[in-house]
Amino acid sequence: MSCMLRHGPTDPGLGQPLCWECYDYASHVVWQWWAPELWRRFTITLRRLIAKTLGVKPRDLNEHATLQYAKVAEFQLRGIVHFHALVRLDGPKCDAGFAPSSPSIDPALLALLVEEAARAVSFTAPSALDDNLERGLRFGSQVDARGVLTSRRTDDPERALQPEQVAGYLAKYATKSATESADGGSNPHLQRIQAVAAAIADCAQSTANLSDLDEHDVAYERMANWVHMLGFRGHFATKSHRYSITLGALRRARRRAQTLIALARREGRRIDLAGLEAELMADDEDETTLVIGDWRFAGVGWETAGDAALAKAAAARAREYAQWKSQQRRRTRPRRSNVHAT
């Protein structure tokens, strides 16, 4: 079944199923729920392939190479998530950061290893909605891995991607909302996905209520927290621990920038741009007081549905963690035994 019509960018038919009765909504939601697990297995498999290529054991890979990545999750108009990632291979950790990567793995070979790992990984998802149907999940044939160049040549579309292109590419998908339809209005397809996700969550909760939580863990029990995200429980943007600057360092840099700007305005001088970066990224943790003398009304609430979704996802994750901690305490709490003497 296919559609041969040409749709405009605001056509409300974009992303809608060709056959509402044929579309497998349960499998759609199951994919969303387990997509983070598939990505986790992909990173493990890729590390093993790199170790094999270098001729070392996987457990010794960090002594020879360091795999790092930055990943964003994109919701397509049809409401299904897929990943865009920038993968980087460095040498082992050293005092200056990272040593150069092994010359035996160039960008072209790394791209081939990425595609091989993506084709190799799979995950068998447990049944949902009591359908007793296990679903095999894997990445599709659309996997596309290309090298990133440091040159600025843009006149040859067949050449590898450039850093600026990749940065804009990832930023574009990191800011897309999961619930905004093509025409900006209600999307019946996405609403139905949410309804199926809620039904799976209700079914899992009913199963959990009939089971001993100390011995039985229902796979989709916490999906109720992620119905608004169409069943996707992962982060919109993730990175390996050492891929780039940390969020803590960025927060400190922002505080320093605000302090420098306020000080320059108060003294009536221009900021020295040459030394600004060094000052912002300094390691000192001196606490300063920022005095703000100008207040303006910025607005109320979230500017976009994507911002609201991020806030809801963060709150849901915090609640989920609190529930998990509570369950762990109940499971580890020693049970009392009552002894009756006659």
Tell me, yes or no, whether 287 and 176 share the same domain: no
pTM higher than the cut 0.85 = no
- Tell me whether residue 16 is in a domain: no
- Tell me whether residue 12 is in a domain: no
Tell me, yes or no, whether 54 and 162 share the same domain: yes
Tell me, yes or no, whether 192 and 131 share the same domain: yes
Domain boundary residue among 219, 244, 269?
244
Mean pLDDT of 8-23: 83
Mean pLDDT of 54-76: 89
Domain boundary residue among 244, 262, 278?
244
Tell me, yes or no, whether 153 and 217 share the same domain: yes
Query: Does residue 229 register a pLDDT over 80?
Result: yes
Of 126 and 298, the one with more pLDDT: 126
**Domain enclosing residue 279, as ranges:** 246-294
Total domains in the chain come to 2
Query: Does residue 286 register a pLDDT over 50?
Result: no
- Tell me whether residue 312 is in a domain: no
Share of the chain above pLDDT 90, in %: 22
Which residue has tokens 């000080």?
A: 263
- Tell me whether residue 333 is in a domain: no
The distance from CA 261 to its chain's CA centroid, rounded to whole angstroms, is: 33
- Tell me whether residue 82 is in a domain: yes
**Tell me, what's the pLDDT at 193?**
92
**Tell me, what's the pLDDT at 339?**
43
**pLDDT tens digits, 81-117:** 888 888 989 888 887 778 888 889 998 999 999 999 9
Of 130 and 69, the one with more pLDDT: 69
CA dist., res. 330 & res. 322, Å (int): 13
H helices of the chain, where? 25-54, 107-120, 163-174, 188-209, 247-267, 276-280, 305-332
Query: Does residue 341 register a pLDDT over 50?
Result: no
Tell me, yes or no, whether 123 and 237 share the same domain: yes
Mean pLDDT of 274-296: 56
Tell me, yes or no, whether 234 and 254 share the same domain: no
Least confident of 117-131, 175-189, 235-249, 286-300: 286-300
Query: Does residue 9 register a pLDDT over 90?
Result: no
Distant-in-sequence, close-in-space partners of 177: CB < 8 Å, separation ≥ 6: 75, 304, 305, 306, 309
Share of the chain above pLDDT 70, in %: 72
**Tell me, what's the pLDDT at 178?**
52
Tell me, yes or no, whether 196 and 260 share the same domain: no
Answer whether 198's CB lies under 8 Å from 231's CB: no
CA angle 145–151–156, rounded 5-degree value: 65
Tell me, yes or no, whether 111 and 229 share the same domain: yes
**Tell me, what's the pLDDT at 57?**
94
- Tell me whether residue 318 is in a domain: no
Structure tokens, 277: 């970066």
Domain boundary residue among 222, 244, 266?
244
Tell me, yes or no, whether 195 and 50 share the same domain: yes
The average confidence (pLDDT) of the chain is 78
- Tell me whether residue 38 is in a domain: yes
Tell me, yes or no, whether 60 and 126 share the same domain: yes
Which residue has tokens 């979230």?
A: 302
Tell me, yes or no, whether 72 and 37 share the same domain: yes
**Tell me, what's the pLDDT at 213?**
47
Query: Does residue 17 register a pLDDT over 70?
Result: yes
Tell me, yes or no, whether 257 and 141 share the same domain: no
The model's confidence at residue 161, banded by pLDDT at 50, 70 and 90, is low
The model's confidence at residue 166, banded by pLDDT at 50, 70 and 90, is low
**Tell me, what's the pLDDT at 288?**
46
- Tell me whether residue 31 is in a domain: yes
Distant-in-sequence, close-in-space partners of 157: CB < 8 Å, separation ≥ 6: none
**Tell me, what's the pLDDT at 285?**
45
Amino acid identity of residue 174, one-letter, is A
Of 328 and 8, the one with more pLDDT: 8
